[in-house]
Structure 1
Amino acid sequence: MNELEQQFLKDLEKKLWNAADKLRATLDAAQYKHAVLGLIFVKYVSDAFSIRQDEIKADLANPEHEYYLDPDDFTPEELAEEIAIELEQRDYYTEKNVFWLPTESRWKFLQDNGPLVIGGADLVIDSKPKKITSVGHLIDNALEGIERDNPKLKGVLNKHYAALKIDQAKLNELINLIATIPFTHKSLNSKDILGHIYEYFLGEFALAEGKKGGQFYTPASIVTLIVEMIEPFEGRVYDPAMGSGGFFVQSEKFIERYAGKNNIDPLTQKQKISIYGQEYNYTTWQLAAMNMAIRGLDYDFGKEPASTYTNDQHPDLRADFIMANPPFNMKEWDAGVDDNDPRWKYGKPPSGNANFAWLQHMLYHLAPNGSQALLLANGSMSSTTNNEGEIRKNLVTNDLIECMVALPGQLFTNTQIPACIWFLTNNKGERTDKAGRKLRNRKGEVLFIDARQLGYMKDRVLRDFTMDDIQKVADIFHAWKMGEAVNGVAYEDQAGFCKSASLEEITKHDFVLTPGRYVGAAVEEDDGIPFTEKMATLTEKLSEQFAESAKLEAEIKQKLVGLGYEL
């Protein structure tokens, strides 16, 4: 995004969160999360419905459009009535992948009728009286209408507003607050605005609930980096810790961005990527389903939210691409998990840390030519605690590790834990991949990339990647895999940045996979000044600083004595 787009989203974040402070006083973070995110979804689908309605009106008045209604064929009253009838035709909306909304599910209806419900008035919906007992009941009724008329959303929406222990006037105030969210922007896609708002609120709620932000939200630049490197053009895509579905959304964007392709195969009229996911947190599971539904993506998230370890929702899946950002260093993950679980092919992960459990779960579900990428804490690259070193050794000796990427610090909003990306594959042999790239034989090699110096500080505390940074890493990775130049970049080892290491080299380093060990230090440019001359200059400067320090120390002592302190 450019600076104007980033500023638009930052202003939106600040506005929403500050205005919401007074409302959060009556609910804890977990309850408020349900209340806010559900209403934001209703606002989004209602805005999309209204925008489509305006388009239909314009088409009906356009003599060159097939929907045109000629005013000469009607009296003014008849024309107005005919337009009103046409605007309520479901097919006009569904043909553009816009959710059809019954009257009671439209945002204007909620805003207009909230105060009436508080006043105890009975409502009339589509000429029929209906008893609505509270603002919460009004919202639940709107959600039920959306689910009833849109089967994709069946069971996805959180219809528990009537049960919230919150003052009705406050809930109506929340409706009016969310009404101020603009889902239109001259360059930002409305779906991306919605996704950004979801991610922002998830991070803020995670903080309020005392949870690690990484548990819910992966920075968009890291998601983009992984997708650009793994290239999920078509096939089965799986995320066993999917959060709100960011990897799936970015995969669709990746397909649309390259060669004018989109996610629908013109021959079969089916999606090029089949989406499979799993999520334990119920609210986040719902958000992921909403995220897919608004984008018109078919998906399989299992029968229910569930633990990936004890209730695998896709036991027979063998995926072409697996991407995940699981919770870092998760403890006590293995309650109810068999020590002899077939997933632990390379060693039983320790109870105190789930990093290698996630990694092996993904390998278990990986197709013979599949590729996987996952974010883990840096400790995973070197730890030897409780069998972790042995598992890492087995992964190396079985030639499953393709690439290791060290990331800069300060990339995550809610955790300062340094992170890395593991790329693994079941087949390093010569072949053509799903992207049509001809891959060379890479058996016995691992690529190490140290990206810690890339990126920029987007504010005082948060670092981010530019698209150029992402492309630099992705191009090096693909050039290494192919053995030929990609976007004008041919692979060669670069001190301080990348190194193609043999399994023998990794063995000498006791199977530690930290990129810094292999890439070494960047070579400094020779400025032509002899070392002896540099040393003399530095020594002179140091002497001057020592003298200045002594002078300041004497002045401080003098002032302290003047204030009556004995030294």
Structure 2
Amino acid sequence: MTNEEFKRTLWDAADKLRGSVAAAQYKYPVLGLVFLKYVSDMYDAQSEVIRQRIADPRSDYYIEDEATRKENEDAFARDKTFYDLDNVFWIPPDAHFSVLLAQATAPDLAQRLDKAMAAIEAENPRLKGVLYREFSRLELEPGKLGELMGLIARLKFDAHKHDSRDVFGEVYEYFLGQFALKEGARAGEFYTPKSVVNLLVEILAPFKGTIYDPACGSGGMFVQSARFKDAHQAQLKKKGDLAIHGQELMAATRRLCLMNLAVHGLDGDLGQSYGDTFANDQHKTLRADYVLANPPFNISDWGGDKLQDDPRWVYGIPPKGNANFAWLQHMLARLSARGRAGIVLANGSMSSQQSGEGEIRRAMVQADVVECMVALPGQLFSNTQIPACLWFLSKDKAAGGNGKVDRRGQILFIDARKAASGRISRTQIEFTDEDLQRVAQAYHRWRGSDFSDGGEYADVPGFCYSASLADVEKHGFVLTPGRYVGAQAEEDDDEAFNDKMERLTAQLAEQMAKGAELDAVIREKLGALGYGV
């Protein structure tokens, strides 16, 4: 299936529940069934791998005698040990998607699904308390759940193509976008678009150490960081290793994150429970090497009135009505001595002056913990039009482990508002791989990091500029990249002024003529419908 077919199938599945289940809830049963289909397909693929191994003379499990091999094939394929060895989830026979699909018309299908999920959790400790087990609580018309399973059955997960793909991240992003468009969404509650996650990861370059996301959602930051680490091990000729830590406010989303990590073979510490990172921090003693986060923008009900004396507020007490600078300072407090952070925030955080935010920003700049600022293009997020930016913070800007170039007393500004050339839909754009590398390499060259392509950094008018702290002070400690990078260099234009004016005038006349034709057609159509025009 193409990605678009994949997503349409999922939305069709969600539509099966429309009107029966609250919009904010019906993504969870759908995702529960998608998970069941996914792990069942992976189980089947592993079964074939096991059969191939006992027939392969190079394998440790090779059985030379054909009759004995045939006799033992099914027994080996049903042996849980051979699934555990390859980190594949064991699916009890009665819990397999195909078995339950055959019972789709049973009046107690919901109860059977709940029992199947419980059985899978019991056989796979990493999934304990993670899976959706509330099908029997759904108030659905008879047969609707079976129809839903029939739609999910159309999804075909290929073990080789999907084992490194953030399946649940893509599904979750798509669902949040669709639900927000159809039902509306609370401000700031949305999944980070994949290309924004990729840009954060490409610049922060998590490779070895501890990684932390205090608002981890469905875990997309973790999955992409692990991918980055795997992709660069050969380049750096050494093994990377990331210890994952995170926290999530919503219980259902936390379960989705744990499920996402489990599917990708990743272990993570998400604390003892879901909870508010500010009021119930699950990782108070953590000092992370990398922090990646897309916290909810501009939230006003973050409990700031109860945290006025919190030791995290090193650079100033955040305003009670906006959590942006509480997030920034929380993440700085969780960084190790050489740690770095990449955070998605609303554009207002770069220039706001109200409620002491300007003073906190000034203190952060003067403490030299701001490393890089990136302005993002509009239309990156599917369900919010709030303009966004990326903050990159660092506890160590000197030459050393984070880069060969000493950048103390400097901040890199990148204006990436015109850097995204990919288009997802009429209203949404994305960064292509080439776009990502252009932005990321500007940073890595500037820093002289291990991930640089070896090119020399140079300021590019309209795109990037390395500013001193004195430059920033002249701008009143406003961190909007457009103030620093200047205007893009004009391309040489050899067309004579008179020729250009004549050409543009002709184009305008042609467009006006087409407009007049369309006006006439519209008037004719409206007249035929009985409307006077």
Return closer, same or farther for 1:538/1:27 CA change in 2, 3 Å cut-off. Answer: same
Residue 482 of structure 1: which of 448, 451, 457 is its match?
Answer: 448
Partner of 2:289: 320
- 1:97-176 equivalences under 5 Å are 97-115=87-105, 117-118=106-107, 134-176=108-150
Alpha-carbon distance change, 162 to 535 in structure 1, aligned in 2, over 3 angstroms: same
Provide Cα deviations, 1:484-526, integer angstroms capped at 9, x if missing partner: 9932421111110111111111111111111010001011123
Partner Cα distance (2:507, 2:18) in 1:
57
* Residue number among 265, 272, 276 corresponding to 1:307 in the alignment: 276
Write the letter of the residue equivalent to 1:102. Answer: P
Identity %, equivalent residues? 44
- The alignment partner of 1:321 has SS state of strand
- Counterpart in 2 of 1:126? none
Distance 2:243 2:232 in 1: 18
Alignment partner of 1:461: what SS?
coil
Distance 2:233 2:6 in 1: 33
Aligned to 2:530: none
- Gapped regions of structure 1 (runs ≥ 5): 1-6, 119-133, 266-270
* Further displaced range: 196-205 or 283-292: 196-205
1:463 has 2:429 as partner: yes
How far apart are the structure 1 equivalents of 2:255 and 2:311?
30
Separation (CA, whole Å) in 1 of partners of 2:149 and 2:216: 29
Aligned to 2:531: none
Question: Residue 342 of structure 2 corresponds to which residue in structure 1?
Answer: 373
Match of 1:502 among 468, 472, 482: 468
Give 2:409's match in structure 1, choosing from 444, 447, 459.
444
Structure 1 partner of 2:54: 60
Q: Whole-Å Cα distance in 2 between the matches of residues 547 and 475 of structure 1?
A: 43
Structure 1 SS opposite 2:86: coil
Q: Which amino acid aligns with 1:460?
A: R
Name the TM-score, length of structure 1 as normaliser. 0.84
The amino acid across from 1:368 in the alignment is A
**Cα distance, 1:114 vs. partner?**
3.4
TM-score (structure 2 length as normaliser):
0.89
- The 3 A distance-change label for structure 1 pair 27 and 515 is same
Q: Which residue of 1 aligns with 2:206?
A: 232
Taking structure 1 as reference, are residues 278 and 170 closer, same or farther at Cα in structure 2, changes over 3 Å only? same
1:122 maps to: none
Rg larger in structure: 1
Question: CA offsets, 1:147-178, max 9 Å, x none?
Answer: 11111111112221122222341112212211
**Preserved CA contact (<8 Å) 2:374 2:391:** yes
Structure 2 residue 25 is the aligned partner of structure 1 residue 31: yes
Note closer, same or farther for the CA distance 1:377–1:91 as it changes in structure 2 (3 Å cut): same
1-side partners of 2:337 and 2:304: how far apart?
30
Between the aligned partners of 1:275 and 1:263, the Cα distance in structure 2 is 22
CA–CA separation in structure 1 for the residues paired with 2:236 and 2:131: 28
| Compared CA separation, residues 445 and 165, structure 1 to 2 (3 A) | same
Matches within 5 A, 1:396-411: 396-411=365-380
Q: Distance in 1 between matches of 2:252 and 2:236?
A: 29
Question: Structure 2 counterpart of 1:471, which letter?
Answer: Q
Moved more, 327-336 or 221-230: 327-336
Q: Which moved more, 1:30-39 or 1:222-231?
A: 30-39
Give me the whole-angstrom Cα distance separating, in 1, the residues matched to 2:10 and 2:449. Answer: 50
Q: 1:62-101 alignment to 2 at 5 Å? A: 62-70=56-64, 73-74=67-68, 82-101=72-91
In structure 2, the CA distance between the partners of 1:69 and 1:137, relative to structure 1 (3 Å rule), is same
Shifted more, 105-114 versus 209-218: the winner is: 209-218
Amino acid at match of 2:272: K
One-letter amino acid matched to 1:26: S
Query: 1:426 and 2:388 equivalent?
Result: no
Q: Which amino acid aligns with 2:405?
A: R
Corresponding position of 1:40: 34
Between 160-169 and 8-17, the greater mean CA deviation after superposition: 160-169
Per the alignment, do residues 190 and 182 of structure 1 end up closer, same or farther by CA in structure 2, a change over 3 Å counting?
farther
Equivalent pair of 2:117/2:131 in contact (CA under 8 Å): yes
